[in-house]
Homo-oligomer: A and B are copies of this chain.
Amino acid sequence: MKNNQFARISADHQTVIDELQQIHFMDNEVNEASTSAAAYRLLLRKACVNVQGEHGFDTKLRNYLATPDTDLKDYLNAGEPITAEVFYLVVLQLCGFLPGDDFSMDEPLAAMKEMQLPMLEAVGAWTRAQVLDAWYLLLTTHTKDGQTFLDLLTNQGYFVPFYDLSARQKPLFFNGKSQAVFDTSKLICEVVYVESSVDSDHDGNRDLLKVEIIRPADTENGLKVPALFTASPYNQDTNDEAGAKAMHKVNVPLTEKQPNNLSYKDIAYHDEKMELPDPRSINGETKYAAETFSREYSYTLNDYFLARGFAAVYSAGIGTLDSDGIQTCGNPQQTEATINVIEWLNGKRCAYTNRTDHIAITAWWCNGSVAMTGRSYLGTLATAAATTGVEGLKTIISEAAISSWYGYYREGGLMIAPDGYPGEDADVLAIETMSRMKAAADYHLHIKDYFDMQMKKMARDMERESGNYNTFWDARNYLKKVKNIKCDVLMVHGLNDWNVKPGQVEQLWQALRDVPVTKKIILHQGQHIYINAFRSIDYTDMINLWISHELYGVQNGAKELLPNVIVQDNVIPETWTVYQDWSEPSMARETYHFSEGKLDIASTGYKVVTFKDSLPFDHFKRYAEHLDQWQRDILAEEPNDLSANRLLFKTVPVDKDMIIDGRVRVHVQASSNHSFGMLSFQLVDYGEAKRFNVSPTPIPMRKIGLGYRWREDQLREFTLAKFATPFKMISKGHINLQNRENAWKVDELKPDQFYSIDVDLQPTFHRLAAGHQLGLVVYATDFGMTVRGNQDLRYSLELGNCRLDVPLR
Contacts and interface: CB of A to CB of B under 8 A. Distances in A.
A290 B51 contact: yes
Contacts of A709: 185, 294-295
B52 A290 contact: yes
A619 interface: no
A163 to B, nearest CB: 13
A556 interface: no
Interface in A202-243: 234, 237-242
Nearest to A53: B290
B98 A62 contact: no
Interface string A674-709: 000000000000000000000000001101010011
Given A52-B291, A55-B357, A292-B50, A442 B62 contact: yes
B440 A294 contact: no
A402 interface: no
B98 A63 contact: no
A55 B156 contact: no
A438 B444 CA distance: 60
A79 interface: no
Contact of A440 (B64, B353, B439, B708): B64
A15 to B, nearest CB: 29
A291 to B, nearest CB: 5
A639 interface: no
Contacts of A63: 322, 439-442
A102 B722 CA distance: 43
B438 A242 contact: no
A553 to B, nearest CB: 32
A19 B322 CA distance: 33
A297 B93 CA distance: 20
Interface in A89-130: 93, 98-102, 105
Interface string A30-72: 0000000000000000000111110110110011111011111
A257 interface: no
A53 to B, nearest CB: 5
Given A56-B290, A354-B59, A100 B242 contact: yes
Given A58-B356, A65-B444, A357-B53, A437 B98 contact: yes
Nearest to A183: B185
Interface in A315-364: 322, 353-357
Nearest to A235: B701
A230 to B, nearest CB: 15
Contacts of A584: none
Interface of A: 49-53, 55-56, 58-59, 62-66, 68-72, 93, 98-102, 105, 155-157, 185, 191, 234, 237-242, 290-295, 297, 322, 353-357, 437-442, 444-445, 625-626, 700-701, 703, 705, 708-709, 712, 722-723
Given A56-B353, A63-B440, A70-B441, 10 more contacts: A51-B291, A53-B290, A55-B354, A55-B356, A56-B291, A63-B441, A65-B444, A71-B441, A101-B241, A155-B295
6 contacts: A56-B291, A64-B440, A71-B441, A102-B241, A294-B708, A626-B723
